[in-house]
Structure 1
Amino acid sequence: MTQFLEGPQGRRIAYHRSEGTGPGVVFLGGFRSDMQGTKALWLEDWARKCGRAFLRFDYSGHGESSGAFEDGAIGDWFADATAAVQKLTEGRQVLVGSSMGGWIGLLLARTIPERLAGLVTVAAAPDFTERGYWAGFPEAERAALLEQGRVELPSEYGDAPYVITRRLIEDGRDHLVLDQPLPMPFPVRFLQGTADADVPMSWALDLLDHATGEDMRLTLVKGADHRFSTPDCLALIGAAVDEVLARVA
């Protein structure tokens, strides 16, 4: 049953929480994704079978949470995630961040490292508003974004067009993680598919090179796409979480 947390600035954050042993596991979803996705539900089932505490939630403007998607930005969703971890979990947590959730996880690692037992990312997309959208926009789209405050981009998944706002781009610049030190004082596992059309494989290598930590590994999966949701890919996520938990138990 969906529950709600009164989050930052009165935003209602929808969540599902399973009781269990710690360290718990928190799933951080991607851009325009929600907590009903394949990876979130698979991890919830995995956690229940292991007796492990688990939390999944929707950022504001996503899924069952309040707000409109196009009104949000990285800072808002980072604040939502911070509130969810701080108020809905106890002790240290292993974060599993998918795509944008990887960026959110890195921001959490930078700001509340004492609450993290480890981090697993799946096709992490740190700084994607800048190095993905803004860097990829032709001059005409950049001009439209600055003048009109928004542009619409077609979705490759058959959904309604993505609305990219000027605020999303400008707020993203205030939350970049690859332009300053990024210490990871806990076990970290990065997972990345080589056939990912949304997050280039080079980004995973850049992240591995930039972040610092004594226990950090990158696994590349030949042929895996951005969804990373085949049975083999899901099993790899579970194995990565297991490995992190084994090192902090």
Structure 2
Amino acid sequence: MPDMEPSFLTVGTGDTQRRIAVRARPGSGPPVVWLGGFRSDMKATKATALDQWAAQAGRAFVRFDYAAHGESSGTFTDCTISSWLEDAQAVLGTHIGEPPILVGSSMGGWIACLAARDRAAGGAPNAGLVLIAPALDFTEDLIWERLTEAGRAMLMRDGVLRRPSHYAPEPDPLTLKLIEDGRRNCMLGSPIDPACPIHILQGMRDTDVPYAHALKILGRLPAEGTVMTLIADGDHRLSRPQDIARLVAAVAEIT
């Protein structure tokens, strides 16, 4: 299926202004919005598979690239959880006119939960959340807490730490700015209620976001309307055909 050309949305002002690339497929039903992971983009396997499903099912589907990801502009080391949340909120405000299903992968799960919480607090309902290996609070729990004392000292001294990536040839630039902003956006210290159905898909062989972290998230969510699917042989990507089938089914069951 040929890919559609993106449209662009201007977010921010002055030195923080960036162009956010968006692909919005028209259709019926609650609009499905894809929120990708850290250093991923909207052409990745799961996002593309959901777009193909949406085209075949006639469903509305929106995907986009955060600043400094994919086809969007911006400098990666200038970005934070707050700025990527602002990107997501701008896309929702421009392209979504009815309660959406937010589908968040890894870091996108955190962004989805923040956006859903803010929408619910402002009286804008959500249709549902589907979270794939959700990495809520990952800057603190999965980066800072895992760093050695030497790594923390280097980050504090230089403002950036370059960590080898399993998913890209070049290392991930982790900034002190990202860590400090992450602390202001942490969610796991209190209950989380996005006021909608939630389905978590989590691989038990995930070394980036261990399933124990997903269980911690589960403990902060309302019991009513929340489902978790543990995939015993699943890794962090959850991009195999059987994983994609589970993802599509989880999205399709929310109406």
Is TM > 0.5 for Structure 1 vs Structure 2?
yes
Equivalents in 2 of 1:71, 1:215: separation in Å? 37
Q: 1:138 aligns with which of 134, 144, 148?
A: 148
TM-score, scaled to structure 1: 0.96
Shift of residue 158 of structure 1?
4.3
Match of 2:30 in 1: 23
**How high is the sequence identity, in percent, across the aligned residues?**
46
Amino acid at match of 2:60: A
3-state SS of paired residue (1:237): helix
Query: What is the alpha-carbon root mean square deviation over aligned residues?
Result: 1.0
Match of 2:7 in 1: 3
3-state SS of paired residue (1:55): strand
Amino acid at match of 2:126: L
Any residues of structure 2 matched to 1:167-206 within 5 Å, and which?
Answer: 167-206=177-216
Any residues of structure 2 matched to 1:42-57 within 5 Å, and which?
Answer: 42-57=49-64
Match of 1:112 in 2: 119
Q: 1:59 aligns with which of 57, 63, 66?
A: 66
User: 2:115 aligned with 1:101, yes or no?
Assistant: no
3-state SS of paired residue (1:16): strand
Bigger mean CA offset, 18-27 vs 177-186: 177-186
Shift of residue 79 of structure 1?
0.7
Shift of residue 213 of structure 1?
5.0
Any residues of structure 2 matched to 1:53-92 within 5 Å, and which?
Answer: 53-92=60-99
Aligned length: 245
TM-score, scaled to structure 2: 0.94
Shift of residue 66 of structure 1?
0.8
Shift of residue 197 of structure 1?
1.4
Shift of residue 179 of structure 1?
1.3
Shift of residue 5 of structure 1?
0.6
Equivalents in 2 of 1:20, 1:156: separation in Å? 36
Equivalents in 2 of 1:200, 1:99: separation in Å? 11
User: Contact 1:15/1:55 (CA < 8 Å) preserved in 2?
Assistant: yes
Structure 2 segments unaligned to the other structure (5+ residues): none
Could you list the runs of 4 or more consecutive aligned residues of structure 1 that deviate by over 4 angstroms after TM superposition?
Answer: none
Shift of residue 115 of structure 1?
4.0
Equivalents in 2 of 1:61, 1:140: separation in Å? 28
Query: Once the two structures are superposed, what CA deviation does each residue of 1:12-57 show, in whole Å capped at 9, x if it has no partner?
Result: 1001110001310000000000001000000001011111100000
